[in-house]
Structure 1
Amino acid sequence: MTTQPIHEHATDNEPNFDFIGHFVRSYRAAKQESLQVLAERSGVSRSMIAQIESAQTTPTIVVLAKLAKAMDISVGDLVQPPEHALNINISEITPDKQVSKQGSAFVCHLLNSQTRHFSNEIYHFHFKTSGKTAFAANVAGSTKHIWLEQGSMLMYIANKRVSIKPQQLTSFNAAIPHRFECISTPLAKGLFYVVY
């Protein structure tokens, strides 16, 4: 296995892969993982990982594949330059994102919808007056996670009544029809996240 040094200033013919070293180092820092632990899990030597992190060498595709597998990411995510890999998306609550019925006590906006390894949707909701709303069943195997930012509300799912309080995360099988009810002030508002 031969490696070539990465040059400080890349030309158009010499790509600069310093970001791979930053990526690996950031991954280890986030996981509070030593070079040795990543080396053992990936099968890449400790010294090779240290050289990659300090931009002293360009890893081969075999080394990249081993590191990516050990970090549970795709090789594409590892080698994409940060400006492409970060994939930052900022969503705001705007009238065109409202998915609830006009005039309803319950107002809901779709903030984000993604399909990658699985499908998920993120919604912001609030009650503008006391009232209730009902949801049809989501697809089989789906889960809904509700984060209540303020207020309190009741959730009815099957024959069960659940009281949801602020600063709590409540998760349940969204394939069962359910409804929310808000009867107290401050009025309930928060986020829910559906995973399919």
Structure 2
Amino acid sequence: MNVHDTIARRVRELRDAKGWSLDALAERSKVSRSNISLIERGQSSPTAIVLDKLAMAFGVSLAALFEQTEQATIVEPSAHCSRHEQLQWTDPDSGYVRRNLSPPAWSPLQLVEVQFPPGKQVAYETGLRDADIHQQVWIMEGTMEVSVGNRQWRLEAGDCLAMKLDCPIVFRNTSRKSARYLVALSKPSVNESRSH
């Protein structure tokens, strides 16, 4: 299954779980109904900003839109994920590449690797969600500037920043070299995520 099919299925699953129509999701997310429809059919390459708006409407992290859950009720999800099975996605606006490192089995945390091109930025409107979601960003190569609310940090290789996903967050690479970093996200428990 390709990344667009995975996103399509997850958006439909999350919308169905909420009992929302396309119009209801469009109103809550501020993403057009036609755009959501294309995403759910796997016919659109949504940007990171659009995906974050959808995730915020659902009360989940952006990473939750990349989870592979289709066979969870049929087969026990695997606790292992080899590199060739890790879902990779490229933001069509900034060109940043994210790779889901975590296996399908449920865990209280999720790992994502990001390759961020030079001179680019992504600004998330991140707001309050149904569940508290925390993340840490650990820089492996290069430098990144990260703004969380009204605070800003310049992160270099080896630096780590913790944040809660409840305010606007901006990632920018102002250097001339690509940056690579690891994101570790907390996930709500299965019961907590199903209760919302």
TM-score of the two chains, using structure 1 as the length reference? 0.47
Larger of the two Rg values belongs to structure? 1
Higher relative contact order (CA 8 A, sep 6+): 2
TM-score of the two chains, using structure 2 as the length reference? 0.47
